[in-house]
Amino acid sequence: MRIWTVANQKGGVGKTTTAVALGGILAQQGKRVLLLDLDPHGSLTSYFKYDPDSIRGSVYDLFMHEGKVPADLPRTLIRDTSHPNLKLLPASTAQATLERKMVGVEGMGLIISKSLAHLWDDFDYAFLDNTPVLGVLLINALAACQHILIPVQTEFLALKGLERMLHTLGMVMKSQKNPLSYTVIPTMFDRRTQASVQTFRTLRQQYGDVVWRYAIPVDTKFRDASRAGVIPSVYDAATHGVRGYEKLLHDLLEANVGFNPPPQAQAGGAA
Ligand SMILES: Nc1ncnc2c1ncn2[C@@H]1O[C@H](COP(=O)(O)OP(=O)(O)OP(=O)(O)O)[C@@H](O)[C@H]1O
Ligand SMILES: [Mg+2]
Q: What is the pLDDT of residues 136-161, one digit of tens each?
A: 999 999 999 999 999 999 998 888 88
Nearest atom of ligand 1 to the alpha carbon of 18: 18
Task: Identify the pLDDT of residue 267.
Answer: 44
pLDDT of residue 264: 53
pLDDT value at residue 266: 46
Does the beta carbon of 241 lie inside 6 Å of ligand 1? yes
Whether 67 is covered by a domain: the verdict is: yes
pLDDT at position 177, please? 75
CA 42 to ligand 1 centroid distance, Å: 13
250 C-alpha to center of ligand 2: Å? 23
The 10s digit of each residue's pLDDT in 13-59 is: 999 999 999 999 999 999 999 999 999 999 999 999 999 999 999 99
Mean of the pLDDT values across residues 80-106?
Answer: 94
- Answer yes or no: is pLDDT of 99 > 90: no
Whether 270 has a pLDDT exceeding 70, the answer reads no
Structural domains in the chain (count)? 1
Mean per-residue pLDDT over the chain, rounded: 93
Q: For the chain, what percent of residues have pLDDT higher than 70? A: 95
Residue 267, domain member (yes or no): no
Residue type, 158: A
Domain membership flag for residue 269: no
Q: What band does 271 get if pLDDT is binned at 50, 70 and 90?
A: very low
Where in the sequence is the domain holding 142, given as residue range(s)?
A: 2-261
Q: DSSP letter at 78?
A: -
> Model confidence at 269, in pLDDT bands (50, 70, 90)?
very low
Helices marked H in 29-157: 43-47, 59-62, 73-76, 98-101, 111-117, 136-144
Q: How far is CA 162 from the centre of its chain?
A: 16
Residue 79 domain-assigned (yes or no): yes
Structural domain contains residue 206: yes
Instruction: Identify whether 11 is part of a domain.
Output: yes
CA distances to 29, 72, 222, 225 from 233, rounded to whole Å, are 11, 32, 10, 9
Our answer on whether the CB atom of 15 is closer than 6 Å to any ligand 1 atom is yes
Is residue 166 situated within a structural domain?
yes
Kindly give the number of the ligand 1 atom that is closest to the alpha carbon of 8. Answer: 21
pLDDT of residue 174: 87
According to DSSP, residue 181 is labeled: E
Q: Give the number of other CB atoms < 10 A from CB of residue 267.
A: 10
Q: What is the CATH number of the domain that holds 89?
A: 3.40.50.300
CA of 14 to the centre of ligand 2 (A): 7
Closest protein CA for atom 9 of ligand 1: 14
Quick one: pLDDT at residue 157? 87
| Residue 103 confidence (pLDDT) | 82
